[in-house]
Amino acid sequence: MNRFYTCIISGLFITGAAIAQEEIPIPKFIEGQAKPIWLSVSGINGEALEVLQFDLYVQGFNFTNVDGAQYLISGSANGNFQGRAMDKFNKSTLVSHSYSGESLRRQVHQFADDFVSALQRKPICRTKIAFKGETRPNSEIFVADFDGQNAKKVTQDGSIVAAPSWAPGRSALYYTSYKFNHADIFHHDLTSGDRTTYALFGGSNMSPAPSPDGSKVAMILSKDGWTDLYVRSSAGGDPLRLTKSPQDESSPCWSPNNEWICFASKDAEHRVLKKISASGGQAQRIGIGGVINPTEPDWSPDGKWIAFTSQTRTFQICVVPAAGGDARVLCEGEDPSWAPNSRTLICARRGENGYVLSLLDVPTGQVKDVSRISGSNSQSQPSWAR
């Protein structure tokens, strides 16, 4: 019997050693692995140039003179924006269009979208983001253009809100609000303005994540006395309890095929990411090499990557292949959310006086903060409408 215990104890030590070895406390910031695509711009200036450079920089393009450029962009902005994009090497015209209607900013966004579409990429410049905006001491949910412009408050709860998440279709949000002095989950239709309470269970109702097909919502509930992961039909009904652990689970997200839910959890006091079938079963750990304390996963729309936050003394944005592997540390920041193009992320970066939202092109590692957002001191927990 003594030997039996020895066997178990030595087993524990081996496990402990293996875990300790995984811990590399100093994050390695890796310079962008992919080189930017070089562009030259002529004839465009002022606001139009500013908007165009922002739009394309956060999608992995950078700017140089005609000699060094692969694509040549030219245009004018006298009232309406006229834009033209040429491939310098095969001398073909990719885009040549005169835009009208709405604002100059919007016209430039459309040109940027036309240009990346001509390169067989998914456009992102006319999409929306949602985020938590501090209105100290409270917070409200805001919606804005992807670059932080045209920000609008969508809640007036005079309380705390958290974790906005877009429902598919880009016209409704789920989020947590403390309007009723508890953490409850709301569904908010942005077209009609109607909102309904989605989850008001005893305890806290947290981190709602609608499935990509909109049929289900994953969330963290404590109604049974522990903070566990549940999934429920978006129409309501009994939630299915997916985890049953005294550890805390947090931040569920979905695989694009609606089959898996990835979430932050713990194994033997170590923070890990796990995935579990949306219909239940055994959770599987996602192996992550090189960084510690992963939380806040978000699965890329093409299914290939999981972005997450790693915590040491600060917070870093990382990506790992969805099947597991070595993590790539990209920049300081928290709570990444993928754009529809599966290459740009939005995250929150700690600034002097609160958080600012930042866009990050994963392949090149190019980062740009969005300009100051009116109506709130600090912006965090961004969610990109996909």
What is the contact surface with another protein in residues (CB under 8 A)?
Answer: 3-4, 7-8, 137, 139, 160, 162-163, 176, 178, 180-183, 197-204, 206-207, 220, 222-227, 236-238, 241, 244, 246, 248-251, 264, 271, 295-296, 309, 311, 315, 334-335, 380-381
> How many Å apart are CA 62 and CA 34, to the nearest integer?
12
Angle between helices 104-118 and 46-57 (to 10 degrees): 40
Task: Name the residue nearer to another protein (CB basis): 82 or 380.
Answer: 380
Bridge-based pairing state of the strands 61-63 and 92-98: unpaired
Task: Name the residue nearer to another protein (CB basis): 198 or 305.
Answer: 198
CA 257 to chain centre: 18
Secondary structure letter of residue 239 according to DSSP: P
3-state secondary structure of 204: coil
Are 23 and 288 in contact by the 8 Å Cβ rule? The answer is: no
Task: Name the residue nearer to another protein (CB basis): 44 or 163.
Answer: 163
For the record, the structure tokens of 24 come out as 């590399």
Q: How far is the CB of 170 from another protein (least distance, A)?
A: 22
Q: How far is the CB of 225 from another protein (least distance, A)?
A: 2
Q: How far is the CB of 47 from another protein (least distance, A)?
A: 34
For the record, the structure tokens of 84 come out as 């033209």
Tell me the residue type at 204.
S
Q: How far is the CB of 340 from another protein (least distance, A)?
A: 23
Q: How far is the CB of 5 from another protein (least distance, A)?
A: 10
Q: How far is the CB of 339 from another protein (least distance, A)?
A: 20
Task: Name the residue nearer to another protein (CB basis): 36 or 239.
Answer: 239
Are 149 and 105 in contact by the 8 Å Cβ rule? The answer is: yes
Task: Name the residue nearer to another protein (CB basis): 111 or 131.
Answer: 131
3-state secondary structure of 180: coil
The 3 state secondary structure assigned to 67-107 is CCCCEEEEEEEECEEEEEEEECCCCEEEEEEECCCCCHHHH
Task: Name the residue nearer to another protein (CB basis): 149 or 222.
Answer: 222
